[in-house]
Amino acid sequence: MSLRTGTFHENYAQEMATLSSRRQWGTVAALLVFLFVCPLFLSDRMLTILTTMGIAVVSIHGLNILTGYCGQISIGHSGFMAVGGYTSAILCAKLGWPFWAALPCGALAAGIAGLLFGLPSLKIKGFYLIMATIAAQFIIIWIIIQLRSITGGTDGLLVPKPVIGGIVLSSKTNYYYLVMVFVVLSTITAHNIVRTRAGRAFIAIRDNDLAAEVMGVSLWSYKLQAFFIGCIYAGVAGSLLVHYVRFASIEQFPFMDSVWYLGMLIVGGMGSTAGAIFGVVALKLLDELVTVAGPILAAAVAPQAAASLALISHGLIIIIFLIFEPRGLHHRWEMIKTYFRLWPFSHQEIE
Amino acid sequence: MKGGDSIWQNAYFIAFINPTAVKEGIIMAKIKWMLRASMPILLAAVLLLPVNAQAEKVLYVGGTQSLTGPFAEDSAAVLAAIEDYVAYVNATKNLAPWRKEKFPADVKLEVMWRDDELKPPKALSIYEELKAKGMLVGRISGSPIALALKDRMWEDQMGATSMATGPYYLSPPQSCFTYYPIYTDSIAAIADWFKTSWKEARKPKVAYLTADNAMGRSIEIPEMKAYLQKTGYEFVGTQYVPLVPTSPPTTQLTWLKQKGVDLALGVMINPGSQPTVKEMARLGMGPHLAHKMTFGVPAPGHAAVFAEAMGELGDGYVCAGSFRPMDDLATPGIKFCSDLQDKYRTGKRITHIMYEAGVLEAMVQVEALRLAMQKVPFEKLTPGDVLKHGFYQIKNLPTGDISSTPLTYGKGDIEGVDQVRIDQVQKGKSVKVGIFPLRNIYTKK
């Protein structure tokens, strides 16, 4: 985080700290307290929305590492979520594993799937990589359908209620807290991964892979690392999703979700941890808005006006952002922050 | 230079002294302007949102709909019918022209619905929203939604009508109610009907040709296969067709032809069954073509809709569990549907057969609410009351012959009807060819 005018780092530890002022600590603490007390005053519906938002945030952090930081565009993220979700569901439903053990296995399985489908990225990029990741989405879903005896095929799989330390996470409040823990953890790790050697290598590859290679960055290693890490996030999100719905079905991981995830990243701002959160919140809120507005529109205009409203509005908002604010909401947020940080000064000194 | 001591000094400083600050000030002004402009929109949205009625007694019907996706056409017709039926009950307090019971005069019905896009997570969020808004009856819009919400609805003791009718409903616990036979019972009826006209000494060969999704695959249960074999069929195997095929299913049909299949059974909606039957005809497969094969599907592939689109090309196509054609005005229920549209839908008539399904769904939901209110005061009604004193108490609900029999529900009886109507496309028209009893085929876990 940037600092207010007049605040200076005095040592290396301060320079490296993620949060370096009391104000920043206070803001984060206030946010955490807010997340903690939400169930006290929010309805079940709002908790459901926040929980699904949280799951999407975890997933988008992964996509942000892969696409936003490393520049490897993936339109198969929903497929990788399916790998994590189904692995976790199978381990719990068929083998009786506890949720806390099944979830990391789901994440690992998704990471390995990411490694496999990331292999083409060593040879191809841009449009061709997009096509390869689309193929990943369809191949994963096809495999799930074919492994009917294990996955339940198109019928899906009933998943038992998650239990952690003897606590059955059956209520919306319980699960909300669980998801928020993962949101916080994934946000911290995503933010810090970018500050590591690997993170800097990702950015170097994104900005100019040839230059990065000349500088000694191993494209082979770091591209696969990006796929592995990004898909681990997807696996965690997929696992959280199926345990929340308590049912694993291929319908939970449609191709269009992969497209919308990329859209969330565009709207929020690629290459920014906060941007990933902004994108999820913006598009999920839009989704809820059009769902509520659908019946009103149908009554006012025509019954069919509500059909496909979400698809149209999502597409439209992504186009608008691509044209008018390609750097996403995060950029706007940074502008606002900069303005208030320097208040009443501008960032340039007066002659 | 130190910043100004007051806001006005700061503003003066930004506006007149520092050119960069002026630029940033313009950007901030734009942001502020946008925020101000969005306020009336937000205000309007909040005001327009449906809120729980406080002054008058209001009960909600409707529920989640799949207006986006493969079931859009069916859902739109269902929704229109629910709206029309609710308008009728509110205006007349009657429940149907052939019924004497009245809906309570001081209670108003309202339709509340959302488009779930056939996405289970979205349906979950919608379900929570509608429940929070005071909805006492639920609705299932398709098999994926049913599988995701079924157990949750039971936990909440929420009774629901369902457009999907998979055998998964018959495994307890049960709080979702259908108004046409479940898919396995429908194809069992087709198998029974087909055997009545089978004259050869050998066993007829049967195969599944079904949609490749939860709905289509729901018939693949051991009990269904066992029933077919018990009734004298030789089961050959299964072929899958995408729910909405993007290319003709030539490979699958050629496989059926090579295996010498006499009867192909599956669950398909019209966007799937129509291109499939077109390709069948091209390959010379059909009851009146070179390779004698009959193709039968349960109600989602309604014969009336199919016949209208396919004409004589679709001759021989069989559909079980559907309703009477919309032009059968001699039937009281169909006449009622027509009258509803005359009164509440002038100029926007709906010809889709699922309009009848929507009227049935609305009838069931309203009847459940009415019965529950006879036992529990309006103010104290809960979803559990509506399930226990409403849905479970619906016995022989007359539907004006829209459904194959009057509807009866109860614990362990969620199917509503007792018989399966079978229609076949003949000379481009949907013709009733038989009615068979339910076989109650489901996985008895």
Q: What is the CA radius of gyration of chain A?
A: 21
User: Coil, helix or strand for A67?
Assistant: helix
Helix axis angle for A255-268 and A44-63, nearest 10°, is: 80
* pLDDT, tens digit (0-9, with 9 covering 90-100), for B132-175: 889 999 999 888 888 888 888 998 999 999 988 877 777 767 89
Enumerate the residues of chain A whose CB falls inside 8 A of the CB of residue B44.
Answer: none
- A44–B132 CB contact, under 8 Å: yes
CATH code of B57-182+326-418, in short, is 3.40.50.2300
In angstroms, the separation between the Cα of residue A287 and the nearest Cα of chain B is 9
Of B14, B125, B129, the CB nearest to A52: B125
First-to-last alpha carbon distance for chain A, in angstroms, is 28
Mean pLDDT in residue range B107-117 = 91
Q: Which candidate in A332, A345, A348 is best for mutational testing of the B interface (most B CBs within 10 A)? A: A345
Locate all alpha helices (DSSP H) within B49-119, ordered by sequence: 72-92
**Residue B335 CA from chain centroid, whole number:** 22
Decide: A294 and B114 in contact? Cβ < 8 Å: yes
Tell me the backbone φ, ψ of residue B220, rounded to 5 degrees: -80, 70
* pLDDT, tens digit (0-9, with 9 covering 90-100), for A325-339: 899 999 998 888 877
In angstroms, the separation between the Cα of residue A242 and the nearest Cα of chain B is 9
Mean pLDDT in residue range B269-293 = 94
Can you list the residues of chain A whose pLDDT is less than 50? Answer: 350-351
Rama region for B176: left / alpha / beta (φ>0; ψ in -120 to 50; rest): beta
* pLDDT, tens digit (0-9, with 9 covering 90-100), for B231-257: 999 999 999 998 889 899 999 999 999
Of B21, B119, B214, the CB nearest to A346: B21
Tell me the backbone φ, ψ of residue A260, rounded to 5 degrees: -65, -35
d(CA B355, CA A37): 46
* pLDDT, tens digit (0-9, with 9 covering 90-100), for A134-190: 999 999 998 998 888 898 887 788 888 888 888 888 788 899 999 999 999 999 999
Decide: A261 and A78 in contact? Cβ < 8 Å: yes
In angstroms, the separation between the Cα of residue B161 and the nearest Cα of chain A is 20
Better-predicted residue by pLDDT, B7 or B247: B247
What does the mean pLDDT of chain B come to?
87
3-class secondary structure per residue, A119-185: HHHHCCCCHHHHHHHHHHHHHHHHHHHHCHHHHCHHHCEECCCCEECCEECCCHHHHHHHHHHHHHH
Q: What angle do CA B170, B182, B327 make, to 5 degrees?
A: 150
Enumerate the residues of chain A whose CB falls inside 8 A of the CB of residue B152.
Answer: 246
Q: What angle do CA B231, B234, B236 make, to 5 degrees?
A: 135
- A344–B13 CB contact, under 8 Å: yes
Whether the predicted pLDDT of B377 surpasses 70:
yes
pLDDT at B210 (0 to 100): 95
Pick from B125, B119, B160, B176: nearest CA to A172: B125
Domain B184-322+423-437 has CATH 3.40.50.2300: yes
pLDDT at B266 (0 to 100): 95
d(CA B299, CA A343): 67
Decide: A70 and A206 in contact? Cβ < 8 Å: yes
d(CA A331, CA A267): 10
Tell me the backbone φ, ψ of residue A68, rounded to 5 degrees: -70, -40
Decide: A328 and A67 in contact? Cβ < 8 Å: no
- A246–B114 CB contact, under 8 Å: no
Six token digits for residue A23: 């104000």
Longest dimension (CA), chain B: 105
Enumerate the residues of chain A whose CB falls inside 8 A of the CB of residue B28.
Answer: 336, 339
Do B57-182+326-418 and B184-322+423-437 come out as alike in CATH topology?
yes
- B126–A291 CB contact, under 8 Å: yes
* pLDDT, tens digit (0-9, with 9 covering 90-100), for B191-227: 999 999 999 999 999 999 999 887 888 888 888 999 9
pLDDT at A3 (0 to 100): 63
d(CA A330, CA A338): 12
Domain assignments of chain B as residue spans, ordered by start: 7-48, 57-182+326-418, 184-322+423-437
* pLDDT, tens digit (0-9, with 9 covering 90-100), for B329-362: 999 999 999 999 999 987 678 888 999 999 999 9
Instruction: Give residue B53's pLDDT band: very low, low, confident or very high (50, 70, 90).
Output: very low
Pick from B197, B207, B163: nearest CA to B183: B163
- A303–B76 CB contact, under 8 Å: yes
d(CA B442, CA B445): 9
Distances (CA, A) of B265 to A79, B239, B251: 31, 10, 17
pLDDT at A282 (0 to 100): 94
- Report strand pairing: B294-298 vs B318-320: parallel
**Chain B: residue whose CA lies nearest to A160:** B151
Enumerate the residues of chain B whose CB falls inside 8 A of the CB of residue A240.
Answer: none
Instruction: Give residue B299's pLDDT band: very low, low, confident or very high (50, 70, 90).
Output: confident
Decide: A42 and A167 in contact? Cβ < 8 Å: no
CB atoms within 10 A of CB B386: 28
pLDDT at B4 (0 to 100): 41
d(CA B283, CA B250): 8
Enumerate the residues of chain A whose CB falls inside 8 A of the CB of residue B220.
Answer: 155
* pLDDT, tens digit (0-9, with 9 covering 90-100), for B408-444: 999 888 888 989 999 999 999 999 999 999 888 876 6
pLDDT at B1 (0 to 100): 39
d(CA A261, CA A73): 11
- B124–A345 CB contact, under 8 Å: no
d(CA B377, CA B389): 12
Question: What DSSP line would sit under A258-283, residue for residue?
Answer: HHHHHHHHHHH-TT-HHHHHHHHHHH
Residues present in chain A in total: 351
Of A44, A294, A332, the CB nearest to B115: A294
- B76–A304 CB contact, under 8 Å: yes
Whether the predicted pLDDT of B55 surpasses 70:
no
Decide: B431 and B444 in contact? Cβ < 8 Å: no
In angstroms, the separation between the Cα of residue A162 and the nearest Cα of chain B is 14
